[in-house]
Amino acid sequence: MKDFVARCQSFTDRVALVSEGKPYTYAALLHDSKYLAQFLLGDQPDLLEARVAFFIPSSYAYVQTQWAIWRAGGIAVPLCTSHPLPSLEYTIRDTGAQLLITTRAHEPFLRPLTHSGSLTIFCLEDLPHDLPTYPPLPEINSDRKAMILYTSGTTNLPKGVVSTHRNIQAQIQSLVDAWEWSAEDHILNVLPLHHVHGIVNVLCCALWSGASCTLLPKFDPQEVWEHFQNDTLTLFMAVPTIYFKLIAYYEQTDAATRQILRTSCGKFRLMVSGSAALPVSVLEKWQTLSGHTLLERYGMTEIGMALSNPYRGTRRAGHVGLPLPGIQVRLVNEANTPVDPGQPGEIQVKGDTVFEAYWQKPEATKDSFTEDGWFRTGDIAVRDEDSYKILGRNSVDIIKSGAYKISALEIEEVLRQHPEIRECGVVGLPDEEWGEIIAAALVVRQPLDESDLKAWLKTQMPAYRIPRKYIYLDDLPRNALGKVTKNELKGQFK
């Protein structure tokens, strides 16, 4: 954090963020985050890695809060603003956060979280104009824990990924070098700010470089096209579903508007896609429309970005390029031995970018690393003609939909709590727009009203995790050991 603050001090007059149409300079961000940090400290010298959760839409207030937590020595726990209460409650309980920062508009929704008695909610509007004391901010060593982000895996509950300040800085530095970020850049963020893609690749890289970042609270294709036309943007980064939706919007406009939208893409120096496989059809349509060959890269919450097509040089469709600066990548077989070129293997990664641990899960942390310290991603790839190509995952229970990583087991666990559902199996089906669509096979006690079921699920899980397709079976397909055979199940959704 020390390095971050020191860098920003050389950009004080420049615009760091544009939020709700209003520009905020680096000087304002440094001042306002320091003030909030001093308030959070009160009479303590250092938050000493206390977890501080915050529920704030993508805005200046979000960044002020994130920086204040970091500068006061806390661990930032950004919450997803579209999650229902049970998901938020899980994160608060798991991290043991005792403070939740939000705004007055969201406080009534969040209030039930305080019923357990251990959580206090603070609304930013209640920040006093003066503080009784203005304590000095603590020195934050780069090995200290900085952030916990939640990611789904092959277990039925999401795990907290703990990154240190060193990890985040290494993730930023590698992208700033590879993609040639500078203070002249201006990026538009439409991604949620509880994942690495939005937080590190967009927001932190911009602030590290002295560039500007315009924050939109939510993705909306029309709004994005308006910003493309009206802003001095140089960079755009998004997930494949967003490019798909921008293309769909463009295709329903008239010829004159299309010409204007196409022209608006000319000012960009780079457009990036990642977080899920970019369909070649989307890459090609975007190329025709915008003149840009999307730079596809590969990453993961636990490791930041690992592989990237080149900024200068040929970007290969369907490929994710080579290791980013400072990152080691290898492909191994099931015996954990590096494979020969052209052979598929699991991607393993080493470097300062790799996270410290899963929050309070020493066993899961140990299992995710090899004995010689490589992180096992669970993704399968092949290296051909000097570029990696992602082939899939080694677990059928991990679904990527709208670039959100979703555990099939987590959804099954919720479905099983429904009184009319006896058994269920959840799978991901290929889909050009969403990457995968979530589908559920249900064995029910009596016929179910699907819209009632969806309404109930909405109170239990975020909208993007709700299955979109349902089939009703008398029994689920199983192997000799009684385990549901997911690949066979997929075949039944025809």
Contact residues: ligand MCA, CB under 6 A: 191-192, 195-198, 219, 239, 241-242, 274-275, 299-301, 401-404, 434, 437, 463-464, 468
The pairing of beta strand 295-300 with beta strand 304-308? antiparallel
Question: Shortest gap between Cβ of 315 and ligand AMP (angstroms)?
Answer: 12
Q: Does 301 bind ligand AMP (CB under 6 A)?
A: yes
Which conformational region is residue 304 in: left (phi greater than 0), alpha (psi within -120 to 50 degrees), or beta? left
Which of ligand AMP, ligand MCA, none lies near 401, with the C-beta cut-off 5 to 8 A by kind? ligand MCA
The residues, ordered by sequence, that sit 6+ positions from 108 with a Cβ below 8 Å of its Cβ are none
Single residue of 146, 199, 354, 390 touching ligand AMP by CB under 6 A: 390
Q: What residues numbered 357-386 form the site for ligand AMP, per CB under 6 A? A: 377, 379
Q: Does 389 bind ligand AMP (CB under 6 A)?
A: no
Which of ligand AMP, ligand MCA, none lies near 390, with the C-beta cut-off 5 to 8 A by kind? ligand AMP
Q: How far apart are CA 308 and CA 294, in angstroms?
A: 11
- Between 68 and 199, whose beta carbon lies closer to ligand MCA? 199
- Contact between 415 and 390 under an 8 Å Cβ cutoff? The reply is no
Could you report how far apart the first and last alpha carbons of the chain are, in Å? 52
CA-nearest of 183, 187, 147, 189 to 168 is 147
Q: Which region, judged by CB under 6 A, interacts with ligand AMP, from 205-213, 215-223, 259-267, 294-302?
A: 294-302
Which of ligand AMP, ligand MCA, none lies near 320, with the C-beta cut-off 5 to 8 A by kind? ligand AMP
Q: How far apart are CA 490 and CA 478, in angstroms?
A: 13
Query: From residue 413, how far is each of 301, 425, 426 by CA, in Å?
Result: 23, 10, 10
Single residue of 299, 304, 323, 467 touching ligand AMP by CB under 6 A: 299
Count H helices, E strands: the chain? 16, 25
CA-nearest of 209, 163, 167 to 186 is 209
What radius of gyration do the chain's Cα atoms show?
23
Q: Does 320 bind ligand AMP (CB under 6 A)?
A: yes
- Contact between 234 and 270 under an 8 Å Cβ cutoff? The reply is yes
Strand partners, 297: 308
Size of the site for ligand AMP (CB under 6 A): 18
Query: From residue 102, how far is each of 44, 66, 123, 126, 222 by CA, in Å?
Result: 22, 12, 5, 10, 28
SS3 261: helix
- Contact between 464 and 458 under an 8 Å Cβ cutoff? The reply is no
Q: How far apart are CA 255 and CA 253, in angstroms?
A: 7
- Between 186 and 319, whose beta carbon lies closer to ligand AMP? 319
Question: Shortest gap between Cβ of 458 and ligand AMP (angstroms)?
Answer: 22
Question: Shortest gap between Cβ of 197 and ligand AMP (angstroms)?
Answer: 8
Question: Shortest gap between Cβ of 455 and ligand MCA (angstroms)?
Answer: 11
Single residue of 92, 110, 205, 300 touching ligand AMP by CB under 6 A: 300
Which of ligand MCA, ligand AMP, none lies near 434, with the C-beta cut-off 5 to 8 A by kind? ligand MCA
Q: Does 167 bind ligand AMP (CB under 6 A)?
A: no
Q: Does 276 bind ligand AMP (CB under 6 A)?
A: yes
Which of ligand MCA, ligand AMP, none lies near 464, with the C-beta cut-off 5 to 8 A by kind? ligand MCA
Which of ligand AMP, ligand MCA, none lies near 308, with the C-beta cut-off 5 to 8 A by kind? none
How far is CA 412 from its chain centroid? 23
Q: What residues numbered 192-231 form the site for ligand AMP, per CB under 6 A? A: 196
SS3 377: strand
Question: Shortest gap between Cβ of 403 and ligand AMP (angstroms)?
Answer: 7
DSSP one-letter string for 58-76: SSHHHHHHHHHHHHTT-EE
Q: Using the 8-state DSSP alphabet, how is residue 338 labeled? A: B
Q: What residues numbered 100-129 form the site for ligand AMP, per CB under 6 A? A: none
Which of ligand MCA, ligand AMP, none lies near 243, with the C-beta cut-off 5 to 8 A by kind? none
Tokens 């290969």, residue located: 316
How many CB atoms sit inside 10 A of residue 25's CB? Answer: 17
Which of ligand AMP, ligand MCA, none lies near 393, with the C-beta cut-off 5 to 8 A by kind? ligand AMP
- Between 39 and 464, whose beta carbon lies closer to ligand MCA? 464
Which of ligand MCA, ligand AMP, none lies near 377, with the C-beta cut-off 5 to 8 A by kind? ligand AMP
Site string for ligand AMP, 129-158 (x = CB under 6 A): ----------------------x-------
Which of ligand MCA, ligand AMP, none lies near 78, with the C-beta cut-off 5 to 8 A by kind? none
Q: Does 306 bind ligand AMP (CB under 6 A)?
A: no
The residues, ordered by sequence, that sit 6+ positions from 151 with a Cβ below 8 Å of its Cβ are 158, 159, 161, 301, 302, 405
Q: Does 346 bind ligand AMP (CB under 6 A)?
A: no
Which residues of this chain interact with ligand AMP, rule CB under 6 A?
151, 196, 274-277, 296, 298-301, 320, 377, 379, 390, 393, 400, 405
